[in-house]
Structure 1
Amino acid sequence: MDKYLTTSIEKLKSGVYGDLNLVLGNESCDLDSAASALVYAAFLYWQHNQIKCKVCTRMNRDESVYRDDIFVPILNVDREDYDLKTEVAFCLRQHGIDADRLVFRDDYDLEQLAEKSKTTVTLVDHHVLAKKDKFMTTMVTEIIDHRPVDKNEWTYKDDTRSSIELVGSCCSLVGQRIRTLGGLLAKETDFFNAFPVATDLLHCGIILDTVNFSKEVNKATPVDEEVVLFLENLQKTRGSNCGVEEQRKAKLDLLVAARKDVSKLSAAQLLRKDVKIVGDTMVPSFPILVEEFLKKPEAIQAIQEALLRRECNMALLLGMSLTDGLKRDGAVYSRNQERAAQLSKYLQEWKTPSLQLTLHEIPSAKNCIYFKQLNLSASRKQYMPALVNFLNASKK
Structure 2
Amino acid sequence: MEDYLQGCRAALQEFRPLHVVLGNEACDLDSMVSALALAFYLAKVSPYDAALEEAVVEVLDHRPMEQKHCPPCHVCVELVGSCATLVTERILQGAPEILDGQTAALLHGTIILDCVNMDVKVGKATPKDSKYVEKLEALFPDLPKRNDIFDSLQKAKFDVSGLTTEQMLRKDQKTIFRQGTKVAISAIYMDLEAFLQRSGLIADLHAFCQAHSCDVLVTMTIFFNTHNEPVRQLAIFCPHAALRMTICGVLERSHSPSLKLTPAPSAHPHLQAYLQGNTQISRKKLLPLLQEALSAYFESMRIPSGQLETEGVCREQADRELDRAGNSLFPGLSQDEEEPPLPPTPMNSLVDECPLDQGLPKLSAEAIFEKCSQISQSQSATASLSTK
- Please say whether Structure 1 and Structure 2 have the same fold, judged by a TM-score greater than 0.5: yes
Contact 1:360–1:371 under 8 Å retained in 2:
yes
1:179 corresponding residue in structure 2: 92
Q: How far apart, CA to CA, are the structure 1 residues paired with 2:295 and 2:135?
A: 42
- Seen in structure 2, the aligned counterparts of structure 1 residues 153 and 291 have a Cα distance that, compared at 3 Å, is farther
1:52 pairs with 2:64: no
**TM-score scaled to structure 2, two decimals?**
0.69
Q: CA RMSD in A?
A: 2.6
Q: Which runs of 5+ in 2 are unaligned?
A: 300-388
1:257 corresponding residue in structure 2: 155
Matches within 5 A, 1:339-350: 339-350=243-254
Contact 1:329–1:372 under 8 Å retained in 2:
yes
Map Cα deviations across residues 280-323 of structure 1 (whole Å, 9 max, x no partner). 11111011122321111222111111111112111010011112
1:357 corresponding residue in structure 2: 261
Q: How far apart, CA to CA, are the structure 2 residues paired with 1:39 and 1:21?
A: 14
Identity %, equivalent residues? 31
Q: How far apart, CA to CA, are the structure 2 residues paired with 1:250 and 1:178?
A: 25
Of 297, 302, 305, the match for 2:199 = 297
Which secondary structure does the structure 2 equivalent of 1:23 belong to?
coil
Q: How far apart, CA to CA, are the structure 2 residues paired with 1:330 and 1:53?
A: 49
Deviates more, 1:28-37 or 1:262-271: 262-271
1:333 pairs with 2:246: no
**Matched residue type, 1:168:** G
Of 359, 378, 385, the match for 2:288 = 385
Which secondary structure does the structure 1 equivalent of 2:37 belong to?
helix
Q: How far apart, CA to CA, are the structure 2 residues paired with 1:177 and 1:10?
A: 27
Of 355, 371, 376, the match for 2:279 = 376
* Displacement after TM superposition at 1:200 (Å): 0.9
- Whose radius of gyration is greater, 1 or 2? 2
**TM-score scaled to structure 1, two decimals?**
0.68
1:286 corresponding residue in structure 2: 188
Of 205, 210, 214, the match for 2:110 = 205
- Seen in structure 2, the aligned counterparts of structure 1 residues 154 and 13 have a Cα distance that, compared at 3 Å, is farther
Which secondary structure does the structure 2 equivalent of 1:328 belong to?
strand
- Seen in structure 2, the aligned counterparts of structure 1 residues 220 and 387 have a Cα distance that, compared at 3 Å, is same
Contact 1:291–1:362 under 8 Å retained in 2:
no
* Displacement after TM superposition at 1:191 (Å): 1.9
**Matched residue type, 1:266:** T
Q: How far apart, CA to CA, are the structure 1 residues paired with 2:98 and 2:257?
A: 38
- Seen in structure 2, the aligned counterparts of structure 1 residues 23 and 327 have a Cα distance that, compared at 3 Å, is same
Deviates more, 1:204-213 or 1:24-33: 24-33
- Seen in structure 2, the aligned counterparts of structure 1 residues 299 and 223 have a Cα distance that, compared at 3 Å, is same
2:374 corresponding residue in structure 1: none
Contact 1:192–1:198 under 8 Å retained in 2:
yes
* Displacement after TM superposition at 1:350 (Å): 3.4
Which secondary structure does the structure 1 equivalent of 2:146 belong to?
helix
- Seen in structure 2, the aligned counterparts of structure 1 residues 241 and 274 have a Cα distance that, compared at 3 Å, is closer
**Matched residue type, 1:148:** P
2:40 corresponding residue in structure 1: 42
1:162 pairs with 2:162: no
Of 94, 99, 107, the match for 1:192 = 99
Q: How far apart, CA to CA, are the structure 2 residues paired with 1:7 and 1:392?
A: 50
Matches within 5 A, 1:215-294: 215-236=120-141, 240=142, 247-279=145-177, 280-294=182-196
Q: How far apart, CA to CA, are the structure 1 residues paired with 2:147 and 2:272?
A: 36
Q: Which runs of 5+ in 1 are unaligned?
A: 58-68, 70-117, 121-140, 183-188
Contact 1:27–1:276 under 8 Å retained in 2:
no
Q: How far apart, CA to CA, are the structure 2 residues paired with 1:16 and 1:31?
A: 28
Which secondary structure does the structure 2 equivalent of 1:370 belong to?
strand
Contact 1:268–1:299 under 8 Å retained in 2:
no
Map Cα deviations across residues 57-89 of structure 1 (whole Å, 9 max, x no partner). 9xxxxxxxxxxx8xxxxxxxxxxxxxxxxxxxx
Which secondary structure does the structure 1 equivalent of 2:63 belong to?
coil
Q: How far apart, CA to CA, are the structure 2 residues paired with 1:298 and 1:38?
A: 38
2:369 corresponding residue in structure 1: none
Which secondary structure does the structure 1 equivalent of 2:156 belong to?
helix
Matches within 5 A, 1:303-314: 303-314=205-216
1:26 corresponding residue in structure 2: 24
* Displacement after TM superposition at 1:149 (Å): 3.8
Map Cα deviations across residues 164-216 of structure 1 (whole Å, 9 max, x no partner). 2221111111111222223xxxxxx21213xx321111111111111111133
